Amino acid sequence: MGFYAKKVFPWVLDVTEPEEMAAQRKLLLHDVKGEILEIGIGTGVNLPFYPNKINKITGIEPSDAMRPRALHKAEKAGISIDWHDGLGENLPFDKESFDTVVLVDVLCSVDDVDAVLSESFRVLKYGGKLYFLEHGISAENKIRKWQLRLNGLSKVVACGCQLTRDMEKHLYNSSFEVNELINVPPFAGMNSVYTHIRGIATKTANNQ
């Protein structure tokens, strides 16, 4: 991991997020509960949006460079993080360990989207919920064209982030029962290429 990925990119993540994204994080996380796993916790940008009753979460993140910023935000939010270094494709937890799994702008940069969803399903208890807020390929032709043009650049400057993955397809092809899926309106300006879906999916016995 080079200087850019270790020192510059964590700072970029914190200072370049559009205002609209904060509102989406708040909408997603306002009622999460129980034992929570956040995959790709990054710099901890979700932490201020967890309900006040949440005082501890488990986080897993492949980049240890993100950890100082995450711990700083955790202290401000009054949340303790059980931090694990690792990948979403190979979670170091027993099956049925969590009530809730949170994925926010993670699936765009993992090596295997389906493996992360499969692992999320495995570690959730029956009836447990996956809360997701992910960006991917747009249904709007004008935005899609720009996503295709900029995808290579995004992978370089955003450390592997891809703009063209069909997140909705991956979710519906997973073992989860998708209860809610909302197409978030495009953000303003250049941030319009990050077209998001937000929703909740459940681990049910019928989906085994």
Residues 65-92 as b or e (16 or more Cβ within 10 Å = b): bbbebbbebbeebebebebeeebbbebe
SS (H, E, C) 110-148: CCCHHHHHHHHHHHEEEEEEEEEEEEECCCCHHHHHHHH
pLDDT band for position 72 (cuts 50, 70, 90): very high
Share of the chain above pLDDT 70, in %: 91
Residues 52 and 55: their CA atoms lie apart, in Å, by: 7
Residue boundaries of the structural domains of the chain: 3-207
Please say if the pLDDT value at position 65 is more than 60.
Answer: yes
Domain 3-207, what architecture?
3-Layer(aba) Sandwich (3.40)
pLDDT digits (tens, 9 = 90+) for 100-156: 999 999 999 999 999 999 999 999 999 999 999 999 999 999 999 999 999 998 888
pLDDT band for position 205 (cuts 50, 70, 90): confident
